[in-house]
Amino acid sequence: MFACCVLDGKIVVVAGGFTTCRRSVSGAEMYDLENDAWSSIPDLNRTHNSPCSGLVIGGRVHVLHKGLSTVQVLGSVKVGWEVKEYGWPQGPMAVVEDVVYVLIHGVVYKREEDETWKMVASASEFKLRIGMAMTCLSGEVLLVGGVIGPDRHWDVKPLSDVDVLTVGSDRPTWRKVAPMTKCCGTVLGCTQLTI
């Protein structure tokens, strides 16, 4: 349940979240694809027994913990993490051209420059879908995987669906693209790495 994102062409893995024994983890590492090497970066300031997600906004890594209003921000590897009180809404998030998008209760919102949240598009067809990743690719928002359910019989239907929201137009629209071929179900994290 750790956060994962890409910064300056390197994968930053923040081992926030928790272990199988529910012990919170604060360690953080960065993977350099070019040199095929991992290196430690400063630990998170706070740990929580909750899933994390990672976003890069303005060249800075942001780690969000599910259920908390605080965000940990990595200004630089030398300086370490700062804890900020953002009070952002809870839900899957993606960053497109430094703009944060979040999916909440069947609606996609974007964060405006004045730090308010503006409705961008309905996502009512995804209201029953949980456990999916939200990411950005080529200036669009992607919803990847997830599950439907549980229903009244506790049945859970794993999904391989990938849905795309085009946000660069006046009227953002959804479209389906090719589903995953071998994977389905809950996706804990998804990020783009340019090689």
Residue 152, C-beta contacts closer than 8 angstroms, at least 6 positions apart: none
pLDDT band at residue 194 under the 50/70/90 scheme: low
In the predicted model, what is the mean pLDDT of the chain? 85
Look up residue 14 and give its two tokens: 């923040």
Task: Verify that 148 and 129 share a domain, yes or no.
Answer: yes
- Rg (C-alpha) for the chain, rounded Å, is 17
pLDDT band at residue 116 under the 50/70/90 scheme: very high
State the Cα–Cα distance between residues 143 and 72, nearest whole angstrom.
Answer: 24
Left if phi > 0, otherwise alpha if psi is -120 to 50, otherwise beta: which for 59?
left
**pTM score:** 0.84
Q: Is pLDDT of 108 > 90?
A: yes
Sign of CA dihedral 149, 129, 122, 92: positive
pLDDT, residue 86, reads: 86
Mean pLDDT, residues 26-34 taken together: 86
Domain count, the chain: 2
| Comparison of pLDDT for 181 and 77, the residue scoring more | 181
| DSSP tag of 94 | E
Domain containing 40: what range?
Answer: 1-88
| Comparison of pLDDT for 175 and 66, the residue scoring more | 175
Backbone φ and ψ for 181, nearest 5 degrees, come out as -95, -30
Determine which helix (DSSP H) or strand (DSSP E) holds 88, and give its type and residue range: none
User: Which of 64, 88, 112 is the last residue in one of the domains?
Assistant: 88
Task: Verify that 104 and 139 share a domain, yes or no.
Answer: yes
